[in-house]
Structure 1
């Protein structure tokens, strides 16, 4: 089993690569959602400002 984890001396690089890949894959999945929420919040704030401006 330790041979599996060490991978002939390259285990650190291999497992680091896998971990980095998973982190980037997660970020790639979450980033558009984060940007979409921010854009929606900005649009809602703009609508509220416009509505308040029209009332006065």
Structure 2
């Protein structure tokens, strides 16, 4: 039990480890959706280009 907010934030002398762990976790939770969205956009763009290239090849062979 903590008797004051200062004791809570000090985490019994382990504050640097505890709060840096929470910070790293929060950072990952924020960055992962952004990275997934960026990869998704790249994949969609690549698929559209491949589809257009296939259409061009089909039209050229006729």
Please give the range of the TM-score, normalised by the shorter of the 2 chains. Answer: 0.5 to 0.7
Q: Deviations over 1:5-52 (max 9, x none)?
A: 543311110111111111121133223312321221111111121122
Greater fraction helix: 1
TM-score (normalised: structure 1): 0.67
In structure 2, list runs of 5 or more residues that go unmatched.
Answer: none
- Count of aligned positions: 56
In structure 1, list runs of 5 or more residues that go unmatched.
Answer: none
